Structure formats: structure tokens, C-alpha cells
Structure 1
Amino acid sequence: GGVLGYQRIGTGNLTHLHPMKGPMLTQTLQDIIGHEPLHWRGDRFGIEDFNGAFHELQGRATVLTPSEMAEFKALLATVTFPPNPFRNIDNTLATNVPMTGHFATGRFTLAAGAPMPNGNPINGLTRYRSVGGFPIPGVGTTRLDRNVFACATCHVLPTGGSTAHRWASGAWQPIASAPGTFGAKQLLLMGVSDVGPNVGLANPPTGPSIQNTLKVPQMRNVFERTGFYMRPGTDSTHGFGFMHDGNVASISDFLGNPAFNPTSDQDLADIVSLTLSWSGSDFLSGGTLINTNATNTALLPPGPPSLDSHAGVGQQETIISPIQSLTRLNQLVAADTTGPSAGRVELIAKTYGPAGNRGYLLSGGNFLADNVGE
């Protein structure tokens, strides 16, 4: 047997959820507070809906008290995505990302399984956000998603998940928290039906999916979810695939799906490299910060903020000679003091010598010593 679930969608109506949802990928706990509803089907309005699991699944004698749940929720609200290794040290998108371990789909010039060319995430971001379309020879001007949507229509900046706004009266309007949702922000869900022919699927669906509504996947941990392949001649090292049930092996297989409109192996590599470089926020377009798509463009809804780390966090440089190149040190200083990401990191210097071990913090263009008054 099973118990039918219910889900509040769209206008606030309740719809039945099938109890046999099948295998699903476990979603990350990183930055989930403020990005409700939870579960792939959005059938949990907030973390409070999981309280019963402490008793029924974890074996705790009782469920959490309201104060304990508040503490648990506050803890989860601090879990941050790590620095992105594909970004520059100043947190900007790179222009030449090696696509090691990513393979062509066979849709264009390169044979299926051939190594992908290096990608340019900046070009990928332009394609991702294009609402006016992109010229394809012999086809015309199209948007990347089925010639209907931009990628950023559903996977908004800066999280890659969905928006908490609805389009009304010619503008994006915030969605108010509904009663019984613990005051949590409720992101829009997407409808899933027959997805048609798919490249790289283990079992391509031929009819409507039983998952009538799904949470839009965020994209900040894509770079950690690589290494799973389902093509002859490739070895899987780790990973669990993409989509809610892991049915698509790799991100290149997913974006190479005929539902999307990349124009070449290079174009696909650029878009894939963007997804690998996603976490970090601070997206730029023409030098302007576009973190939240804060526009009234119908196909570019605004997104909630992202709890992720600057790419410079944890970077270090050891200086042992007065004639040593200071290029990297200057990069570290610039990451702290200039550009759209200034202030997101703090630069600390440590010195060791006969006079003792000292520490300094870069603040306002000067290093402040750990000795008061120095």
C-alpha cells in the first residue's frame, strides 16, 4: 500500500501525487533554506515537514521541539556551496575551460565519445540568457530551449533553480508564502510530460511521465557530479547521472538532447562549461552585474540569492624571496579590493621570523596588524 501525497501548485489547488515515485537522486543539503518547496516533487513545504523522520527513520525517541527545529533550520541555513575550481581567482568566468572527461554526443561534427573542445563559459552565458534567439544556418533564429524558452527562463540566475515570482500585469510579481508553508519561500515548479527522444538516456521514455510536477534543479554543484558515462569506450569513475532519477548520464548528454538547440560541438562545449562554472554568483554581462535577472523581461525572471563561496576562498601564496614574482599576490589583493566581487573575501597575511609570528588583515587598502596600535 501507500499514502497519496498532495502538492500545492500554481493557483493553490491541490493535486494527487502518485505514491510509487520510483528511484530518485538525493538532493544536496547546501543552501536549501529559502529555496522551498523541498523534495523533487515539491511535496514538502519546508524543513519542518521532515520532523517526523527524526523519530520514524532516525530512531529518535521523539520529534524535535519547535526550538530544536529552529536551531536545526538555522544550521542548514549556513551550509554553503564551496569555491568553484573552474572560475578565475577573482570569481569571474574563465574564457578557456578544459573539458577533460566530457565527451561529444555525436550530434554534430565530432563522433560520439570523442573529447569535447575547451569551452568558453562567457559565450555559454550569452547563449543561456538569450531571449531574442540565436541564428542557426538553415533554421533561423531560435531560443536554446525548444525554440520557446531561454535556459534562464526556468533555471534562473544565480542558483540555476526556479524563481519565486509569477508573471502578472507585465511584470514579475513575488509569490506570497501560502498558509501552512512555515513562511517559507515557495519556488515555482515545472510540469513534466512526454520529453520525446533523448540522447544518452538508459531507457528513453515513450509516454507521459508520472512526475507531473518537479522542482527545477539548481546547478551549483554540477561540477561535482561528473564522471558517469553510458557510451561505448568510456569508463565511469563516479557520479549518478542527471534529472530527478539519474536517467541522463552526463551534462553534455542532457544539453545535447534534441529538445535543445546548440549549433555545434563548440557551442555545446561553451554551454556545458558554463554549468561547470556555475557556483559563485557574480554573473556579468558587458561588465554589468546580472546576479538576479532583475528585469521585467518575460523570459528572464528574477531569482533568489545564492549561498555560495567566492572562487578565491582558500587560495594561498607563499613568498620566500624578495625577487619572487608577485603576480599571484597581486591577484589575491585584487580579488579582495576590486571588481564586482570585492568584499566577498578577506585577505590575511602571515609572517614568520625572529621577531615572532604575526598576522595582518587587508582592510581599506592597508594591512592591519594583529598588534593593536602598530
Structure 2
Amino acid sequence: MEEPESPQEEPSPAGAGPYTLFESGQVRPIARSPDGQRLFVVNTTDNHLELFDISDGGLTPTGSVAVGLEPVAVAALSNEEVWVVNHLSDSVSIVRLEGAAPRVVRTLLTGDEPRDIVFAGDSRGRAFISAAFRGQNHPRFKPADLKTPGLGRADVWVFDVADTGAAAGGEPITIINLFADSARGLAASADGSRVYAAAFMSGNQTTTLLNESAVADAKPLPTSNHEGVRQPDTGLIVGYDGEHWVDETGRDWSAKVHFNLPDRDLFEIDATASPPQLVRSHSGLGTILFNAVVNPVTGAVYVSNTDARNRVRFEGPGENASTVRGHIAENRISVLLGDAVIGNHLNPHVDFSLPEGAAIASADKAKSLAQPQDMVVSANGDTLYVAAFGSNRIAATATAALEAGQYDPAATVHIPVPGGGPSGLVLSADGDTLYTVSRYANSVSAIDLVNGETRITRTLFNPEPAALQRGRRLLYDADLTSANGTASCGSCHIFGDLDGLAWDLGNPDGNSIANRNEFVPLRSPTQGVFHPMKGPMTTQTLRGIADSGPMHWRGDRGGQDRALVNGERETLEAAAFKEFNPAFVELLGRESELPAAMLQDFTDFSLAMTPPPNAIRALDNSLSADQAEGRRVFFEDNTTGGALTCNHCHVLDVEARHFGTAGLMTNEGPGITEDFKVVHLRNLYTKVGMFGASVPRPGQQAQFMGDQVRGFGVLHDGGIDTISNFLGSSVFGFTSDAQREQVVDFMFAFDGNLAPIVGQQLTVGAEPSAAALARLDLLVTRAAVTSPREECDLIAKGVLDGNARGALRLADGRFRTDRTAEDSVSLEQLLTLAGQPGQELTFTCVPPGAGLRMAIDRNNDGILDGDN
């Protein structure tokens, strides 16, 4: 097992061991001890908490603690106790700092994908943690909730810090459900009486009306491209204006929308109530809400966000229609002051009307701020520091101007961040030093605010391959990828994932192109071309595109022309991804396409992104009776067009890495005039929350469904509200509604790249309970599975005899330790060691093949850490 070590000054390249890229978005990656003597930084790429001594104004590494997978937030409860939120492990690591070596003493289990943590309540005695309302560790969630309308899809978990509960994963005081799609940033008032929770992908009161004759004949112009070729019949995005659902011309489509979108953005929680409870919510703060912070003097709440412009149609030069080119979303700081919501557009200086290929003046671009994330307020309440993640700088601006809605770029001080991509901020106790985390360089820096200069930078250990480290910037860096410094691919693909919206990004100035893709047998093409005006399409995740064939919903990035890269022919997916290069000009507004070397780095990075394990499927990888019957129907019954099974199109073959698609095309049947690529089914559970489509299922009447958390559902345009209604189409032939619902149940629990056990944890100390031992047995059992694929490597981390140690489970069930290659111990021996005071061990299921690096050989150099 490894000795406590300081983070490396320079990153070492990863060796032969595998690295799984999840690209979790950091939320609160840095914190300071209350006495101002220590700094805590999450190392997301390496699943560690890094410790620094800042007592003398320096930045001295003092230790490193293994936590869960993908840590994204950290908060200091005291000078001796720190809590770390592990996004992929669905857990919180409680780290104690006293003694010879820091260690994890408890692991709390939460809902799916927890993101942030704050301490509040009386004497700050309660921990508040944001997470999704789903996941195998959730005590109330059940798969049937995915089919229940009107539910909030976000939670805030609340734990008593003095008594986290006797259960193996802790017992929350309460779980506060929020009527939002997901939750991210949290903020506490100065006195701890209030906690504010920001919805993450909160939406903006837009939805898609399904294609039908009434929509097709009444859509706003243009309906043909510059060649005069009429576009296919498509849906239409409409938005709520406060009274009616209207298109961009103001035409009222309210009769077609059968639900409400209340757009609740910021939730206010009484942290002192017993138990804590939701007080009220606030709307109109933004579309994607990244973080929140409270001014300790004025009580104003600042929310960093972007506001999507998906009500505007089309990309491209805009010669014959509107365009979002270079103006996809507005980067903002919204302020909640009392009951008033005050908006601040961070780029009012930008001329968004410049022609394609033109750039704003360099002096103006230097003022631009993109993707504002973490924030911190000075002790006197006068200054807000904002980490402009997509601009490689920190903006220091007057809070008085923000609270008046008078943000002025000319009056804002910009501080460059070494390495770029600032994702976290914290001030020193005296307020003279600002500490920041660079996501690109995986480093932490101390910035002297007296002179605005960086005093010192420390690089954290990074096991990622160099190509991934280079490629990350291409997803987010608006300075590099847009002419005005405000937009990047990450403006829509939030941390490489979805944004929960649909966009009509056709181009009336474009030409039709040939469709050369292969089709599913028995599914002949209806059209041989892709029209440049394709209609609304929901944002697709980049996670998992390496195994999904041609790209875009229509497969119009076909990857037909595959180049030689390093002497080998690149994959179809790599070639298809490179066909997005024109979008840097036509959509982001860059002056020119990316150079070949940058495009290769971006391709390598994007194709490495991996979806998280399915949050609905049971941790033991089993299926319920209904899910199992749904799987049988999916594979065996001819339910589609009378001649095909579900699996004929949506191929599931784990060994071939097909998780709902083999990359082929299909025609979509009645009512859809475009051909589409068969898409994967791994993330269907993330698209739940819209109930009430504009066109009801055959044989049903439209029914008003009340308040919903999402305006977009499934299929290419998000216009079908639920999987149940999609499978209720006339092209499907199930024997009964019950059979259809069983297939839906299976689709929500669909197989993915990783088994559901990956990331799951347990900390064991003295006298573990029966429940803890049962969970440990679950981890051990899943680690023993090798067919049809390995499910996970099981590792153990902790402190033994005052030294940080690690162990990896071997095929024979014993655990190899980091002392020598020949040294192994039994599970029983490990439990005996964990029973000694201060020697708790944390067991974690990690991706197959990663166990050696994560447990024993952190440097991936073949040298045992215990021998270093």
C-alpha cells in the first residue's frame, strides 16, 4: 500500500494501464480549513483529495487521500474533518486529518451523481448534498417513478454531521425533493439558516411540437433552402412568453401544449427546521445553472449560468434567415435580491452580428467571459470573483453593479489563470490570496490579489494519457474555439453530456448531401439525401460515441473518408467526428476550422468519454421479473413492422460494444419524413420528466398533464414525451399494454459500457454490521464475475500502522498489497486490520483493469508505491 505522498510537480504520462474518462464536471473542487492553515483540492482524474499547507503564504503539498471515483466537490467541516463528494461513486467520503496519516473514516451513500455539499443549520451541524432523484442507493426511489408524471427529479440529502446514522451507508435526516430535472450548486447564507440549491439543467420553458400537417403548413419561413428545395416535414420549437406558447413570429400554439413548465431554478431551504424543509423557489435565473454563492453582507445570492438561445432557429451565415452562429447562449450572473431576480449579461460589448469569418477586436475579446462557474465573495461583500471556465481567467467585479443589473466589462478586472480552465475558487483568511484550480492543467495556483500575479502553481498527479489532457481544452475553451470568446462545444454539450434542450440548427444557406450510410436489413431508405434544414434535434451526449457509428441523429456525419493516423486507418467514428470541424465556423463563429493537430486531439478526447454505469439497473446486475420479460420480448418477439424484433435495430451486444445501436440507419415510418441513425439506449433514464406530448398516441385523447420538469422527451426532436408513448406508435405491435411497459422497464435498465457496480463503495471499521458485510459481499461477488465480461476490480484503501496502504483483489479471492508483488492477504485478514482503531478500510469497485493503478501502482510505472 502507498505511503502518503505529495502531488507531483509535473504530470507523468500514463503507462499501459487503462484509463476511463468520465469527464465529470467539477463543482466545488477547492476548500480552505476554517483556521486558514490548510487547502483541500479534489483530484478528479486520480480519485484523490490533495492536501496543502498554506500557513506561511505558500502552497506546500502535505498528503493525498484516496476517496471515491470522480470527486467533484469538497467542504471543510472543521480543521480536522473534510467531506468529499464522489460523483461517479454516488457517495461522500468523510476524511479525518488527525494522526500520522489522513484517512477516510466513513463513506455515506447518496442518490445518483451527487454534485455539491455545504454545511448549514445550527452551528453548521448539517451537511446538505445535491443529487439526482434516482440511483440504487436511494431509499425511496423505485423504477416505477420513471413513469410517474409530476415528480421532482432532483434531491438535496441532509445528514447530521454528529450522527450520520448506523446504516452501512449512513442515514440522512431527510431527503428534500426538488421540482427540477437535476440539482448542482449549493450555497449557504452567512448565518447558516438558509441553503440555496440551484437546478442544473433547469430548462427555459421551450418544447417541441411534433410534426403534423398543422405544424408543417404553418411554420415560420423559410421552409426551403437557398436552392428552393423544400425542407422535410419536421417539428417546431415553441416557448412560453408568460401567457402563451409562441414561435419566433409570435404565433400562438398554446392549444398544442398539454403541460406547464414552471421553470423553477433556485430553491430556498430552511436549514434550521426539524427536519430541514423547502421554503420556496425562484424562477428566471437561467437555463444551465452552474454554481451559487451568498454575499455575507447583503444576503444576495449570485448564480453563475448560461441562458440558451434555442428559440432562435438555424446556424450558418444567416444570409437567408436567423442564426445562432457565435451566439448560442448568453453567459450570465443572475442575482436573487429579496424576491427580485436581476440578470447580468457578461458580454454586452460583443457585436454578435459580424459576418461569418470575422472576429471582434482583440481588446473586446479579452473582455469576454464564457461558462462562468465557481464564485467567491470578498469578506466585505464588495467584490465577486468568478471563475470563467471557458475564458481561462477570473473576473473580479463589483457586487453593487451586479445587484443593480449594471455589469460593466470595462470595470471588471480579469486575472489570468495558469493552465486555463479555472473551475474552483477560495480566498485566504486575510483575503489577499485567491486560490484557484485549473481543470486543463490539473493544477492549483495561489494568486496575489495585491498585484494580480500568480505566486505559485502546483501540478497535481494526473494518470490521463497526454492526448486527453491536450484535448479537453478543445471542448470548453471559448477563447480558442470562437471569434468572440463566448461560445464553445461545451456551451451545449455540458461537460460532454446533454443540455436537456432541442435546437433547430439547420442551415437554409446549405446544400443537400448524399446519404451513403448503411441501413438495417428490411429498412430501406425513404430519402437518399440529407436536407440542410433538418428541424429540431435534442442535444446528444458525447459519452459513448466511440462505439455508435455515424454521428448526429440523422447520421449525416457518416465517417466515410477514414484517414491514416499513426500508420493505422482510423475508425469510422473518428472520421465522423472530424466532419464536425465546419461547425466551429458555422455554429461557434470561429474565423476558421480547427487545424488538423487540434482536431485530432479533440477527436481522441471526445471518443474517450465513457457513459456512467446505469443508475436504474440493480447493483448485482440482475433484472426484475418485468425487466427480464421485457428483455425477452426485446430479443425474441417481432414487435416492429411485423417482421423485426427491437434488437434488429437497437442491437445489444455487450462483447461487441453495441448498446442499442450497431451504427446502422433506419426509416422511421409514418409521419417522419427523414431517415435516422439507430441510437444507443444507455441514457434513457436521464430523459424522464416530460409528460404530455403535443400529439397523443393513436386511440387516445390529449390530456392536460399539469406541471412538468422538462420540455423535451425522447426521439430525435424530444417531441414524444415518454418511452411508453413512443412504443405506443402504430409501427409497434405489442400483445398488450402490459407487455409494452415491460419492454420500457428493460430499456430503462439497459446495459452500458460498465456494470452498475462500478464506483460503488463501503468503508469498514470495527464490528461492521450485518448490512455492511452484506454490501461488502456484493462488491466481492461482482468483482469475481468474468463472463460475459468482467464487472469490476475491487480495491481497498486505508491507513495501516500509520501508513497509507492499498490492496487489489486477485482472481483467487485474496488481495495483493502494495508491499511486494508476492504479498497477499485474505479478505478476513483485511477485515481484522480494519477493526483496529484508526485503520478503517474503504472498498471500491473500479473499472476493470484499473485496479492495479488505483490500488498499488499509482504512477503506473511498474514500481510498487510501497517500495518508493
| TM-score (ref. length: structure 2) | 0.30
CA contact (8 A) 2:734 2:740 kept: yes
Paired letter, 1:256 = G
Distance 1:235 1:218 in 2: 29
1:296-355, CA deviations, whole angstroms, 9 ceiling, x for partnerless residues? xxxxxxxxxxxx222111101122333522111111011111252663411111234553
The alpha-carbon deviation at position 264 of structure 1 amounts to 3.4
> Which of 652, 672, 676 is residue 214 of structure 1 equivalent to?
676
Query: Bigger CA drift: 29-38 or 80-89?
Result: 29-38
> Which of 130, 144, 151 is residue 646 of structure 2 equivalent to?
151
Distance 2:639 2:729 in 1: 11
- Is structure 2 residue 687 aligned with structure 1 residue 225? yes
Alignment match, 1:251: 723
Corresponding residue pairs, total: 275
Alignment match, 1:345: 792
Distance 2:628 2:720 in 1: 25
- Is structure 2 residue 587 aligned with structure 1 residue 124? no
Paired letter, 2:783 = D
Alignment match, 2:582: 52
CA contact (8 A) 1:310 1:345 kept: yes
The within-5 A match list for 1:21-100 is 21-45=534-558, 46-90=576-620, 92-95=621-624
Distance 2:789 2:533 in 1: 48
SS at match of 1:349: strand
Alignment match, 1:270: 742
Distance 1:50 1:233 in 2: 38
Distance 1:342 1:40 in 2: 29
CA contact (8 A) 1:336 1:342 kept: no
Alignment match, 1:200: none
CA contact (8 A) 1:221 1:279 kept: no
Paired letter, 1:24 = M
Seen in structure 2, the aligned counterparts of structure 1 residues 258 and 160 have a Cα distance that, compared at 3 Å, is farther
Task: Compare relative contact order (CA 8 Å, sep 6+) and give the higher one, 1 or 2.
Answer: 1
> Which of 170, 191, 196 is residue 667 of structure 2 equivalent to?
191
| TM-score (ref. length: structure 1) | 0.66
The alpha-carbon deviation at position 44 of structure 1 amounts to 1.4
The alpha-carbon deviation at position 23 of structure 1 amounts to 1.1
Alignment match, 2:512: 5
Paired letter, 2:816 = L
Paired letter, 1:67 = A
Distance 2:705 2:684 in 1: 23
1:70-104, CA deviations, whole angstroms, 9 ceiling, x for partnerless residues? 221111121111111222223x23215xxxxxxxx
The within-5 A match list for 1:285-324 is 308-324=753-769
CA contact (8 A) 1:333 1:347 kept: yes
Alignment match, 1:100: none
Unpaired runs of 5+ residues, structure 1, are: 97-119, 134-142, 164-186, 195-204, 281-307
Paired letter, 1:128 = F
Alignment match, 2:275: none
Report the aligned-residue RMSD: 2.6
Alignment match, 1:16: 529
1:206-225, CA deviations, whole angstroms, 9 ceiling, x for partnerless residues? xxx331x2111211110111
More strand by share: 2
Query: Bigger CA drift: 308-317 or 227-236?
Result: 227-236
Seen in structure 2, the aligned counterparts of structure 1 residues 242 and 50 have a Cα distance that, compared at 3 Å, is same
Distance 2:704 2:735 in 1: 24
The alpha-carbon deviation at position 193 of structure 1 amounts to 4.1
Distance 2:705 2:593 in 1: 50
Query: Bigger CA drift: 30-39 or 324-333?
Result: 30-39
- Is structure 2 residue 849 aligned with structure 1 residue 370? no
Alignment match, 1:283: none
Seen in structure 2, the aligned counterparts of structure 1 residues 311 and 10 have a Cα distance that, compared at 3 Å, is closer
Identical positions, percent: 32
Alignment match, 1:106: none
CA contact (8 A) 1:335 1:345 kept: yes
CA contact (8 A) 1:240 1:249 kept: yes
CA contact (8 A) 2:785 2:791 kept: no
Seen in structure 2, the aligned counterparts of structure 1 residues 29 and 84 have a Cα distance that, compared at 3 Å, is same
Paired letter, 1:257 = S
Seen in structure 2, the aligned counterparts of structure 1 residues 355 and 189 have a Cα distance that, compared at 3 Å, is same
Distance 1:24 1:32 in 2: 17
SS at match of 2:648: helix
CA contact (8 A) 2:758 2:791 kept: no
Distance 1:354 1:9 in 2: 61
Distance 2:612 2:775 in 1: 21
Paired letter, 1:366 = R
Query: Bigger CA drift: 238-247 or 349-358?
Result: 349-358
Alignment match, 1:112: none
Paired letter, 1:321 = A
Seen in structure 2, the aligned counterparts of structure 1 residues 339 and 33 have a Cα distance that, compared at 3 Å, is closer
SS at match of 2:529: strand
SS at match of 2:581: helix
CA contact (8 A) 1:226 1:239 kept: no
Seen in structure 2, the aligned counterparts of structure 1 residues 332 and 160 have a Cα distance that, compared at 3 Å, is closer
